[in-house]
Amino acid sequence: MLKDQTAIVGIGETRFAKRLEDTEWALACQAIKAALDDAGIDPSEVDAMGCFNQETTPEFDIARSLGFGDVHFFNQVAHGGGAACGVLGQVAMAVACGVANVGVVWRSRKRGDPSKRQWAGVQPRIADHWKWSRPHGLLRPVDEVAVTMRRYMHEFNVTREQLATVALSQRAYANNNPKAIMADKTLSLDDYLSGRMISDPLCLYDNCLESDGAIALVLVRSTDVDRHQQPVYLHAFSQGMSPQHQLMTDYHGHNPLQSSSWTTAANLWRQSDIQPSDIKLAQIYDAFSPMILYCLEAYGFCGRGEAADFIADGGMSQQGRLPVNTSGGSLSEVYLHGMNLLTEAVRQLRGEAANQVAAADSCLVATCDSTPNGAVVLRR
């Protein structure tokens, strides 16, 4: 069993900004080297690698550039924002079962470059699964999430003022995080309500940043942690894809408001000795703010239709029942397909976070609710 058999012993990040001059390759190398330095591990010891299938920094380029030795495992995980925990978990399995000894995972993106924005292009003809939604005006991920949020608001009598709590809470975290892109930009409820509408009912502040940067993590077997940075153990891991799900839209399942997160959550908690009532904080993928509400329910922190009241009552604040996205998340720290959620979880469990949660000894990290996805439980 994977439980507690591997540990994260190094994290590394580049500077975050709306636009950086370095290439995605250079940013990836910087983040991975920083993570290895944090762990006290020489690059020649790395023999397992994991990244996203949308990554433009191939494994061989990274290995050659940083001076890796023989590599025994490498993988890529699909589905963008749903991939971060899958990348980490799959490399952890390779290390735990002895295929490899030292693993690195990374994400490097230059979203500030319009040519790197996946949804900016226009196809002359749609022949794949998008043909079921694009002709009806669902052109971007925000449009698809907006449809589900409008339905959620109708079913559970949720207001925009309640939804605003997500953006406001994460901006408050970012205002106390010097590395956050939005560190110096406050956000009020009036600002939120007057924000430009992107896809009704989602306004500008319900959407993630477009930003540049890179993040990396290093993990080893738990038996090898003594000479490294304070370990953070990977306690449980699962990926999930529910019946009828496809990329982004989940309109074809029996209930579009019960996404693949429910599949992931059930399998995750089945493996875990640490249950939702024990979790001290969570880092939840937030390309769009409704995903926080959906995941709070899917992972069992509140009942169906109760998430809006949970956050409006301060539940995701630093002193709340479950502090969420304590670095500012994708809405206010940086958008790197959720990899910053993993590094923030590690900082919290090490006791090094800018918005440190008292007695933080366990953390859920969950990836994109709207895609096939994954999640991990990390513990100190």
The one catalytic residue in 192, 285, 294, 299 is: 285
Could you give the CA distance from residue 322 to residue 296 in angstroms, rounded to a whole number?
Answer: 9
Residues with Cβ < 8 Å from 78, sequence gap 6 or more? Answer: 52, 53, 372
Question: By the 8 A CB rule, do 50 and 87 touch?
Answer: yes
- Three-state SS for 7? strand
- In angstroms, what CA-CA distances link 198 with 22, 116, 142, 242? 30, 20, 8, 28
Could you give the CA distance from residue 298 to residue 341 in angstroms, rounded to a whole number?
Answer: 18
Q: Mark whether 192 is an active-site residue.
A: no
Angle between helices 339-350 and 84-96 (to 10 degrees): 60
Could you give the CA distance from residue 89 to residue 83 in angstroms, rounded to a whole number?
Answer: 10
Could you give the CA distance from residue 36 to residue 241 in angstroms, rounded to a whole number?
Answer: 33
**Whole-angstrom Cα Rg for the chain:** 19
Could you give the CA distance from residue 160 to residue 261 in angstroms, rounded to a whole number?
Answer: 23
Q: Which two tokens stand for residue 98?
A: 């002895």
HSE of 119, CA atoms in CB hemisphere, 13 A: 12
First-to-last CA distance in the chain?
18
DSSP-derived secondary structure for 311-326: HHTTTTSTTSSS-B-T
Angle between helices 290-298 and 141-156 (to 10 degrees): 60
- Three-state SS for 298? helix
Q: Mark whether 285 is an active-site residue.
A: yes
Point out the residues that are catalytic: 285, 335
